[in-house]
Amino acid sequence: MAREEAVEAIAVPAGLAKAVAGKSWFRDRVGESGCAVYRLSQAVAEDLYLKTADAETLGDLVDEMVRLRWLSGHLPVPPLHGFGLEGDGGWMLTGRLPGRTAYQLLEADPAAATVLAASLARFLRRLHALPVERCPFNADHALRLSAAQDRMDAGLVDEDDFDDSRQGRSARQVWDEMLDGLPSHFDRVVTHGDFSLDNLFILDGEVVGCIDLGRVGVADPWQDLAILWHSLAEFGEAPAAAMLEAYGVALDPVRLDFHLRLDEFF
């Protein structure tokens, strides 16, 4: 599947019209946030990114906007160029981070995964070191379990998109297995919520920023570690192990498995 495709421009609120005028539009086909994402390109200017929401996803877009504004005071994130609400829709316009995503780099050079893993771990430690008491957002396992159950009961969980190890299982089976393996304890740090290779930008071998911030909040560090471990494990055992070593934590199979199962519901 192509990661993006050229599309026609869409209507935007009057307050954003000037900023997007004269751009070529490309629709992102990778993200799973529920919001539509467009790359807006023009030869004489840097790319912009427009994320749009309808009535069902408007709350998610607002969540991301306020988290982006908060996190911008602590870590490099895309600049916010505009935000609009009109009827039941929402539009968020941001700038582009420098470099390329970690996924783009590893797609071109999979052998670089083990070296890059250390940079990803260092940036994750910076995020997890932010003062918990200053973060106004909660994203802990209890909240996510409640949201996961709501999605399961509403039939919104895509069982066909489960990881290979859970293909053929129903959402209810994964749910029951997850609760049976509930960890005995959780820690509390400021987490990203979807710390995957597509959401991390790399320049000269170092992470220079992150995107897709709608799940930022205080939660167990393995919420991020599990997703990053899983992303790197697609390139072999060595990158995933190197990431944990650089982060400074031993593999916790119980919390790893719990968070990977929980992520299947979103």
- Indicate whether 184 and 236 sit together in one domain: yes
Count CB atoms within 10 A of the CB of residue 141.
19
Average pLDDT across the chain, whole number: 95
pLDDT in tens, 150-187: 999 999 999 999 999 999 999 999 999 999 999 999 99
- Indicate whether 37 and 116 sit together in one domain: no
Number of domains into which the chain is organized: 2
- Indicate whether 182 and 105 sit together in one domain: yes
DSSP secondary structure string for all residues of 178-204: HHHT--S----EEE-S---GGGEEEET
Q: Return the beta strands (E) in the chain as ranges.
A: 4-7, 24-28, 36-42, 45-53, 80-86, 89-95, 100-101, 189-191, 200-203, 206-210, 217-219
Task: State the pLDDT at residue 1.
Answer: 58
Task: State the pLDDT at residue 33.
Answer: 61
- CA 120 vs. chain centroid, Å, equals 14
Whole-prediction pTM value? 0.92
Q: Is 212 a catalytic residue?
A: no
Query: What is the extent of the structural domain holding 177?
Result: 100-263
Task: State the pLDDT at residue 185.
Answer: 95
- Indicate whether 121 and 236 sit together in one domain: yes
The C-alpha atoms of residue 58 and residue 136 are separated, in whole angstroms, by 20
- Indicate whether 126 and 86 sit together in one domain: no
pLDDT band of residue 146 (cuts 50, 70, 90) is very high
pLDDT in tens, 225-237: 999 999 999 999 9
- Indicate whether 209 and 89 sit together in one domain: no
pLDDT in tens, 212-258: 999 999 999 999 999 999 999 999 999 999 999 999 999 999 999 99
- Indicate whether 165 and 215 sit together in one domain: yes
pLDDT in tens, 25-68: 999 887 656 789 999 998 888 899 999 999 999 999 999 999 99
pLDDT band of residue 2 (cuts 50, 70, 90) is confident
- Indicate whether 136 and 252 sit together in one domain: yes
CATH of the domain at 221: 3.90.1200.10
Residue 121 to residues 24, 34, 55, 171, 213, Cα–Cα distance (Å): 35, 28, 36, 31, 18
CATH of the domain at 72: 3.30.200.20
Residue 38 is given by DSSP the state E
- CA 108 vs. chain centroid, Å, equals 21
Task: State the pLDDT at residue 124.
Answer: 98
- Indicate whether 66 and 134 sit together in one domain: no
Catalytic member of 54, 180, 187, 194: 194
Asked if residue 239 lies in contact with residue 233, where contact means CB atoms within 8 angstroms, the answer is: yes
- Indicate whether 108 and 144 sit together in one domain: yes
Pair of tokens at residue 7: 């599309």
- Point out the domain boundary residue: 95, 110, 129: 95
- Indicate whether 138 and 252 sit together in one domain: yes
- Indicate whether 118 and 160 sit together in one domain: yes
pLDDT in tens, 82-122: 999 998 999 999 999 999 999 999 999 999 999 999 999 99
